[in-house]
């Protein structure tokens, strides 16, 4: 895994983008969830086309992988994650860490950062 800095230091907050190659095996720890964000909206409900510079980050995505769960501090028992692979979820606008796997963007976040499951 190789971190790379994006953005400039000119009044912009720099973010870290991690790139993982397909031949690297990975395992999510604790209650971490790997989410593929849905594409940003292209048009408004009224039919107005949104330019790339005005598009908002999507807050909805599909769960790709889930960690085993988190151990309770006092009892040491495993608390499994309630989210399953394939679920569509809503999360906070700035939640998670952005990573790239084979050119596809994903977010890694804790299960507690997921606000709700969409049915």
User: Any idea where the domains of the chain sit in the sequence?
Assistant: 2-8+15-118
CA distance 104 to 62: 13
Task: For residue 101, give the nearest of 41, 39, 52, 37 by alpha carbon.
Answer: 37
Domain 2-8+15-118 is in which class?
A: mainly beta
In this predicted model, which residue has the larger pLDDT, 37 or 22?
Answer: 37
The tens digit of pLDDT for each residue in 43-88 reads 777 877 777 676 677 789 999 999 999 998 899 899 999 999 999 9
- The pLDDT assigned to 17 comes to 55
């Amino acid at each position: 895994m190789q971190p790379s800095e994006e953005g400039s230091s000119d009044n912009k907050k720099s973010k870290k983008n991690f790139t993982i190659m397909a031949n690297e095996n990975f395992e999510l720890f604790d209650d971490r969830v790997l989410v593929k964000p849905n594409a940003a909206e292209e048009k408004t409900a009224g039919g107005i086309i949104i330019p790339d510079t005005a598009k908002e980050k999507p807050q909805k995505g599909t769960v790709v992988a889930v960690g085993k769960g988190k151990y309770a501090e006092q009892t040491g028992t495993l608390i499994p994650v309630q989210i399953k692979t394939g679920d569509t979820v809503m999360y906070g606008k700035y939640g998670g860490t952005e990573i790239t796997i084979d050119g596809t963007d994903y977010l890694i976040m804790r299960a507690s950062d997921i606000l709700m499951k969409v049915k």
